[in-house]
Amino acid sequence: MDSRAMFVLLWMLLSSTSSGIKLDGNGYVDVIIAISSRVPQDNTLIDKIKEMVTEASFSLYDALNKKVYFKEATILVPPQWNGINFTKARTESFGKAKIRIDNANPAYDVEPYTNQYGECGAEGEYIHFTPEYLLNDSFIQLYGSRGTVFVHEWAHLRWGVYDEYNRDKPYYHSNSHTEATRCSEKNGGQFYNVTAGGSLQPCRIDPQTSLPAKGCMFFPNRNQITNCSIMFSPSLDPVTAFCQEDEHDYEAQNMFNKKCGKATWTVIFEDSVDKDALRSLKPLQSPPPPPSFKVLQRTHRVVCLILDVSGSMQDARILQQRQAATHFLRYIIEDQASVGIVTFSTSASTLRSLTIIDSENTRETLIQSLPTVASGSTNMCLGLSQGLQVLQNDNGDVLGDEIIFLTDGQATDNITGCAPSAIQSGAIIHTLAFSNSAASALIEMANKTGGIFFIARDDMISNQLMDAFAMLTLSTGDYTKEPVQLESVGARTSGWFNGTVSVDQTVGNKTSFVIIYEKSFPSVYIQSPSGSIYTQTNMSHDGSLNIVTLNIPGTAEPGDWKYSVQTSSNQAFTITVTSQAPDDVIPPIIVKTHMNQQFSDGSKPMTVFAEVSQNYRPVINAEVWATLESETGSVHTLQLLDNGAGADAFKDDGVYSRYFTKMVNGRSSLKVRVKNQEGQTRFAAEYVPGYVINGVVQLHPPKPPGSEEPLEVGNFTRTATGESFAVKLSDTTPPNFPPNRITDLSAEIQEDTVLLSWTAPGEDLDQGTAKSYEIRWSFDLDMLRGSFSNGHAVNTAGISPQKAGSDEKYSFKLNFQIENCTTVFFAVQSKDNQNVSSETSNIAPGSMIPPGPKPPGESYPCMSLIILVISLCVETMVICFIVPLTRRVVKFRKRFAERKVALTIANKFQINPYA
């Protein structure tokens, strides 16, 4: 197959797949809901999941104009659960599931949330529900019906939309009055502060902002005259729809407007992964049937290594294969798993039938069975067939079993002929391409069976093959049982090879230092944090594998471990350090990394993501570097940032991101190295403190307490490997992209001066330095949003753009008079050296706030406050402005009933919050 045909196949394979979820006609299928193995067995949980998805199906049907529903869902229960009605899992796993049931994230407690860090319209990672949330019906009062909450989170997950509330900025100025951050503005309610004793008090005003002070809450009316929006408050009974353009509140200072700048409905139908299908689907003529469910279970792990021993694997390659497979068998594959070994070249052989790993001796027996010589041609189909036969020996089928298929070249047989049967077998196939000429069918098999595809160069210092084997775990949700890679690095030297590995409190058990040398046995010294020195006398040496190993007994001492390797001959070295959690109570810090695309033709930017977390808690302020290495040897390093700008969606969420602009043709590998400390968390479903029912505020129970204390873990190091990706450019040079869109523009007006702040974009997305900025303003938000060039220009001659990621601040004096409480809107575009402009930034409002503080009793001019926004199942909304002191009510609808309700509530509560 020529290179052009290969990349056409790659494009078809990788651009057509996303999360595994699919639309089958109008119904979503392949929806996997996985229960973590940390969750104790409770079969009621299965029933509650079914109830939630069934309710969500009808809610989704209503919310999207009867176009879609949930047709099928699969529930994956933990391996240790007992049951006779559980079907054997195929390719499903906890790590691949898009909906996860697990113990609480300490920051959110029981609150549902979606792990989401892509651009607007990009799919999220997964939805997290807790068992407590599903089993305790009292939470329905706090968060709304589970079905509607599921649809809220589904919109995050599947369509990449963001929340329409803002906990950090719950209120904003809107030309002479205060609004709660919400969508739509027709969502009426009242403002109150809840005291420690549970009573309602008028909200205080912050004299610096003239907005309600911290602690002031917005209580929505239980009955609303609008049915949107699910992304603001899914707990309101009348809310059954997503905001469309005619009701979307573009002034609200929420994440949705910053990231998307359009209505939820528009994002779903124009930007999401389902946009084409949703536009073409016709509404169903009648309500859909309830979803069908399968309950699956994966028991113990069954793996067959299928290893290439053809002639091209001779010498260095066969040695590296043995080294990496040894590391997998000794440190990665878990106890009680079954492992078999098959080799292939001109023919195929079974070196070891399925063997249960029940002791260290069993592991060493398997290692001794690994192949040591290579010759002959490369017949992949024979290897696949032999491996599948080995997997059938435990129970007669291969459903859910795993194949680790390693080869270094193109097949001499037609692997495209046997790949379909391997794909249909029900096995998970991981494929490792140990060269730049391996068949593209390897990607197809991994992609279609839920496996992972890696490329690995045979340059020893890259350590890619070791990294690939180290990533071949199958998570059940309990990370205390899984190995963690602390370090993986290589170098070529004729002197010293030195470094430091930090062991933190979340790891330390089964800690191993594995040093691989190329030619001659070196001198090795490893020093513990307390100063103890380990030398070769404390280590094991395998001369046939060129491996020196130090296994730390018990739990490794936390702190910085220093290693030094000395050689007198010029040779390559690698060191790999792995460890595990010291107990089953505290999960370790883990790193997950991937690209946003597995294949790119250069038309859209690629993004590198690395998520650093501990028990779902984000770890922030770490130093994160990505290494992207092509199969031809070009290496690009990139520091990933968690600053909420450029490619990064949220600041301090533990997700470190960066655009990858230096694309090169071919397949590339991804590796991330992380070091340092600290963490905290954010982003969860909205908690509603109560409702206004018939004019009376009814409080909900307090929100369950989540811990937002920083995670103190001291120094740590981690390395992680992501799935390989492929690039096919029409030109030999990387594409040029404009500066990234600014999404964090903010504006403040003080007297006659405007202060703007934002994070600097780059010359090429978030790389380099932009050439210039263009700033415009308008009193009309819609005009500025729709036609940036028609806004009033600001003189930016004095701005010299800073390097991407820097904090930009620019102040200028207004050349016209603005009255108090007037809102002005600002936007920015940046240009690169070719004068190509970025997209228009988020629209930032600035309001003229009278200087404070005010003497007691004096009014706040901006506070002609909305006391109530009442709607009681009527077609129009009454907005009552109750003005401090001398002002009287200036605007009422004429309907007598509405007047009566408004006055009754005002009198009952003696409302004048802004006096």
pLDDT digits (tens, 9 = 90+) for 453-489: 999 988 889 899 999 999 999 999 999 999 999 999 9
Fold entry, domain 300-455: Rossmann fold (3.40.50)
- What is the predicted pLDDT for the residue at 817? 79
Q: Is the pLDDT of residue 517 over 70?
A: yes
Q: Is the pLDDT of residue 47 over 70?
A: yes
- Pick the catalytic residue from 153, 179, 251, 482: 153
The residue that leads in pLDDT, 870 or 391, is 391
Which of 383-392, 448-457, 614-623, 811-820 has the highest average model confidence (pLDDT)? 383-392
Give the pLDDT mean for 360-383. 96
Q: Is the pLDDT of residue 682 over 60?
A: no
Confidence of residue 695 (pLDDT cuts 50, 70, 90): low
The residue that leads in pLDDT, 648 or 186, is 648
Confidence of residue 328 (pLDDT cuts 50, 70, 90): very high
The residue that leads in pLDDT, 705 or 501, is 501
Confidence of residue 879 (pLDDT cuts 50, 70, 90): very low
Which range is least confidently modeled, 12-26, 567-581, 852-866? 852-866
Strand duo 599-600 + 717-727: pairing: parallel
Helix axes 415-424, 441-449, angle to 10 degrees: 10
- What is the predicted pLDDT for the residue at 689? 65
- What is the predicted pLDDT for the residue at 868? 30
- What is the predicted pLDDT for the residue at 351? 98
Q: Is the pLDDT of residue 913 over 50?
A: no
Separation CA 774–CA 797 (nearest Å) = 9
Give the pLDDT mean for 763-776. 96
- What is the predicted pLDDT for the residue at 694? 61
Confidence of residue 69 (pLDDT cuts 50, 70, 90): very high
Separation CA 278–CA 274 (nearest Å) = 6
- What is the predicted pLDDT for the residue at 887? 32
- What is the predicted pLDDT for the residue at 185? 85
Percentage of the chain with pLDDT > 90? 68
- What is the predicted pLDDT for the residue at 15? 42
Q: Which residue is associated with the tokens 């397949």?
A: 667
Residue environment code for 649-661, b if the CB has 16+ CB neighbours within 10 A, otherwise e:
bbebbbbbbbbbb
Q: Tell me if residue 92 is catalytic.
A: no
Separation CA 641–CA 680 (nearest Å) = 16
Strand duo 844-847 + 823-831: pairing: antiparallel
DSSP 8-state symbol, 427: -
- What is the predicted pLDDT for the residue at 702? 62
- What is the predicted pLDDT for the residue at 856? 39
Q: Vertex 269, ends 264 and 275: CA angle to 5°?
A: 135
Confidence of residue 696 (pLDDT cuts 50, 70, 90): low
Which range is least confidently modeled, 33-42, 65-74, 595-604? 595-604
- What is the predicted pLDDT for the residue at 690? 64
Give the pLDDT mean for 771-781. 96
Separation CA 688–CA 797 (nearest Å) = 47
Phi, then psi, of 827 in degrees rounded to 5: -150, 155
- What is the predicted pLDDT for the residue at 678? 52
Give the pLDDT mean for 710-732. 84
- What is the predicted pLDDT for the residue at 191? 87
Q: Is the pLDDT of residue 711 over 70?
A: no
Which range is least confidently modeled, 129-133, 497-501, 609-613, 629-633? 629-633
**What is the spatial order of strands in the sheet that 496-503 belongs to?**
496-503, 559-566, 523-527, 533-534
- What is the predicted pLDDT for the residue at 109? 87
- What is the predicted pLDDT for the residue at 881? 29
880: buried, middle or exposed (CB in 10 Å: 19+, 13-18, 0-12)?
A: buried
C-alpha dist (Å) from residue 673 to 328, 557, 611, 638: 20, 21, 12, 11
Strand stretches in 107-257, DSSP E: 113-115, 126-129, 171-173, 178-180, 189-194, 200-201, 205-206, 211-212, 216-220
Answer CATH for 746-848 from 1.10.260.40, 3.40.50.280, 3.65.10.10, 2.60.40.10: 2.60.40.10
Give the pLDDT mean for 824-833. 96
* 866 beta partners: 881
Confidence of residue 14 (pLDDT cuts 50, 70, 90): very low
Closest CA to 571 of 465, 434, 461, 488: 461
pTM for the whole thing? 0.87
Residue environment code for 448-484, b if the CB has 16+ CB neighbours within 10 A, otherwise e:
bbbbbbbbbbbebbbbbbbbbbbbbbbbbbbbbbbbb
Give the pLDDT mean for 11-26. 66
- What is the predicted pLDDT for the residue at 187? 84
Separation CA 268–CA 120 (nearest Å) = 10
CB-CB neighbours of 408 under 10 Å: 23
Topology alike, domains 590-679+718-727 and 746-848:
yes
Which range is least confidently modeled, 30-44, 169-183, 870-884? 870-884
Separation CA 237–CA 216 (nearest Å) = 23
Q: Tell me the domain boundaries of the chain.
A: 16-160+272-297, 300-455, 590-679+718-727, 746-848
Average pLDDT, the chain: 86
Greatest CA separation for the chain: 97
607 membership: H or E segment, kind and range: strand 606-614
Task: Identify the CATH class of 590-679+718-727.
Answer: mainly beta
- What is the predicted pLDDT for the residue at 891? 30
- What is the predicted pLDDT for the residue at 464? 94
- What is the predicted pLDDT for the residue at 693? 60
- What is the predicted pLDDT for the residue at 395? 87
* 844 beta partners: 826
